[in-house]
Amino acid sequence: MKKAGIVGGLGPISTLDYYKGIIDGYRAIAGQDKYPHIFIDSINMTELLDHVSCGNIDALVDLIVQSVEDLAKAGADFAAIASNTPHIAINEIVKKSVLPLISIVDATCEYAKEHGYRNITVIGTKFTMNCGLYSKPMQLKGINAFVPDVKDIETIQHLIFPDLENGIVNMEDKKQMIEISEKYIRKYDCDALLLGCTEIPLMIKENDISVPVINTMQVHIDAIIKELLK
């Protein structure tokens, strides 16, 4: 059986969802008497966000690479970063990683292609939206990925931090997140909404939006389970 390594803590609440999601999904396929072998290295989210905010990509890469090395020492056969934002440096991380990495971006882009989406709205942290984390790779799949304007990007950032990142769902914040999302779904005639932050699924559910929701965390979990079962 393969052993999974998870770079977690980015943030802690979604790491809990990863852990439960992997176990539940694995048992649903392998059998209720089967459990996956998972290592989790929970790192300091504040340190990572400081590196991202300062544009210190080298420090971001070193932080993640060190975590992957620790997972490898623990016995992991592959690793996954349980967050969207660190994937802004995924190419540099992959070059230095001692383990194969399951990318949330690659898995999500493939999912969008398989479901035939053509125009999607992307919401997430300001780092994810500003750097074109999904816009560029989606374009390679023939999919248009749109992000909100500067003002709405800042609003979404404040709807995520600090409450949602800590697992607190404020109903007024949820209403505002939905309104912003629907604004761009209409503007760009989108056929899906991509939740590009692993905490947003705590707030936005499938039936909350007028189009299908792409839950990047669940897509990532499914990809990790698939690798575990190989």
pLDDT digits (tens, 9 = 90+) for 176-206: 999 999 999 999 999 999 999 999 999 999 9
- Length of the chain in terms of residues written: 230
User: Going by C-beta distance under 8 Å and a sequence separation of 6 or more, which residues neighbour residue 78?
Assistant: 2, 4, 5, 99, 100, 101, 102, 227
Tell whether 74 and 129 lie within a shared domain: no
CATH number at residue 63: 3.40.50.1860
Does 129 lie in the same domain as 75?
Answer: no
Tens of pLDDT, residues 216-226:
999 999 999 99
Question: Is 118 in the same domain as 208?
Answer: yes
**Shared-domain flag, residues 95 and 153:** no
Could you read off the pLDDT of 84-103 as tens digits, one per residue?
A: 999 999 999 999 999 999 99
Q: What is the pLDDT of residue 50?
A: 97
Q: What percent of the chain has pLDDT over 70?
A: 100
- The per-residue pLDDT for range 131-162, each reduced to its tens digit, is 999 999 999 999 999 999 999 999 999 999 99
Task: Please name the residues in contact with 76: beta carbons below 8 A apart, sequence gap of 6 or more.
Answer: 3, 4, 5, 39, 99
User: Using CA atoms, how far apart are residues 144 and 26, in angstroms rounded to an integer?
Assistant: 32
- Asked whether residue 56 falls in the same domain as residue 114, the answer is no
Which pLDDT score, from 0 to 100, does residue 184 have? 98
Across residues 46-70, what is the average pLDDT?
97
Percent of the chain with pLDDT over 90: 99
Indicate the pLDDT class of residue 166, thresholds 50, 70 and 90.
Answer: very high
Same domain, 211 and 222: no
Closest by Cα among 119, 48, 59 to 84: 48
Which domain, by its residues, includes 120? Answer: 105-215
197 and 111 within one domain: yes
Alpha carbon separation from 10 to 47, 62, 146, 166 (Å, rounded): 10, 15, 24, 11
- Indicate if 8 and 91 belong to the same structural domain: yes
Residue type, 157: Q
State the pLDDT confidence band at 66, using cuts at 50, 70 and 90.
Answer: very high
- Domain identity same for 192 and 148: yes
- 142 with 98, same domain? no
109, HSE (Cβ side, Cα atoms, 13 Å):
19
Co-location of 61 and 124 in the same domain: no
| Domain tally, the chain | 2
- Work out the pLDDT band at 11, boundaries 50, 70, 90: very high
The neighbour count for residue 133, using CB atoms within 10 Å, is: 25
Give the C-alpha distances (Å, rounded to integers) separating 4 from 104, 127, 165.
15, 27, 24
Does 202 lie in the same domain as 121? yes
pLDDT at 1 > cutoff 90:
no
* Separation of alpha carbons 32 and 40, rounded Å: 22
